[in-house]
Amino acid sequence: MLSLNSISLDNMLPKVFVGQEPCGDSSDIWLHQVKFSRGETILLQAESGRGKTSLCSYMAQLRSDYVGQLHYLDEQGTELCIEPSELLRQHIGVMFQEHRLFADLTAVENVMLKNQLTQYTTEHEVRQQLSRLGLADRMDCPCSMLSLGQQQRVAFVRALCQPCSFLLLDEPVSHLDPANAAVMAEMVRERQVADDLCLIVTSVGHHLPSDFSQIYKL
């Protein structure tokens, strides 16, 4: 199997920003050469509307409305060509800012829908992870009946439910209290240790309590 080791951003800029005020001076990412590698813990910080969610979507190959280049590299620095659905199943776990849960499915079913694709874990383990995040009594409720904070935790567990070398968390604690944010950070750390993955977290200010090796301003 292909082994994704780093993602290189080469002078990227969302098309929507093209022709607007120069971004290169105010951003560490847009129109710069940046490389994210396994083992790193990265925080992308910016106010709203600076393209945090767009960058996550670009890296996950869910959108392509940008200029510049995006490269997926293995340990030797050789460029990898990975099919988009395989990238999302095997290499990059994403927790979306808008959660993207299925309202008619329960919390467990939402996670298992992903697990059905990746065959990464068991329903028992999924339930354990949801319980750890305080959802023991809510895991069999349809997601339409969960609060935003509860939905955010379900989306997080789902993002972990796959093998990956990169984990993108788009504003993961925006609706969480500090206690739940701390549990989430702990779970991420465990996973990072186990898989040596690259954690990329975006934030508008209230961010995941982790030890970030690098902080970028968008």
Partner 1 sequence: MKYLFLLLRRNVSAWQLLIFGVGGLVGALIVMLCMQSYRDIDRAYQSDDALFSENYLVISKPVSLRTTVKGLIGGQSLSFNEHEIEELRALPDVSEVAPFRTARFTVDAMVSAGHRTLRTEMFLESVPDEFIDLPLDDIEWKADLSDRFVPVLVPRNYLDLYNFGYASARGLPQLAEGLVGQFTFQLIIGGSFYHARIVGFSTRLNTILVPDAFLADANRVYGEGKDDSPSRLIVRTRGEEAGASLLQYLTRMHYVVADGGEALVRMRSMVYGIVWAVAAVGILVMLLSFFLLVVSFLLLIERNREIFRNLISLGYNQKQITRPYRLLALVVDVIVWAVAAMLCSIFYPYIGALILEASPSLQPAGMGIFYLAAFIGCLVFVLIHYTVIWYGVKRITKR
Residue ranges that bind partner 1, judged by CB under 8 A: 60-64, 84-89, 94, 96, 100-102, 104-105, 109, 112-114, 116-118, 158, 162
Nearer to partner 1, 85 or 128 (CB): 85
3-state secondary structure of 46: coil
Q: What is the DSSP letter of 169?
A: E
CB of 132 to partner 1, least distance (A): 22
Nearer to partner 1, 161 or 181 (CB): 161
CB of 14 to partner 1, least distance (A): 15
Distance CA 132, CA 97 (A): 21
Cβ neighbours, 10 Å, residue 153: 28
Q: What is the DSSP letter of 17?
A: G
**Cα-trace Rg, the chain:** 17
Distance CA 157, CA 95 (A): 9
Q: Which residues pair with 35 in a beta bridge?
A: 8
CA atoms within a 13 Å half-sphere pointing along the CA-CB vector of 112: 12
CB of 60 to partner 1, least distance (A): 7
Nearer to partner 1, 23 or 154 (CB): 154
Nearer to partner 1, 63 or 191 (CB): 63
Element (H, E) at 109: helix 107-118
Nearer to partner 1, 97 or 203 (CB): 97
3-state secondary structure of 156: helix
Which residues are within 8 A (CB) of 87 and not within 5 positions of it... i.e. 6 or more apart?
Answer: 4, 60, 61, 72
CB of 166 to partner 1, least distance (A): 13
- Tell how many helices (H) and how many strands (E) occur in the chain: 6, 8
CB of 53 to partner 1, least distance (A): 12
CB of 118 to partner 1, least distance (A): 7
Nearer to partner 1, 53 or 210 (CB): 53
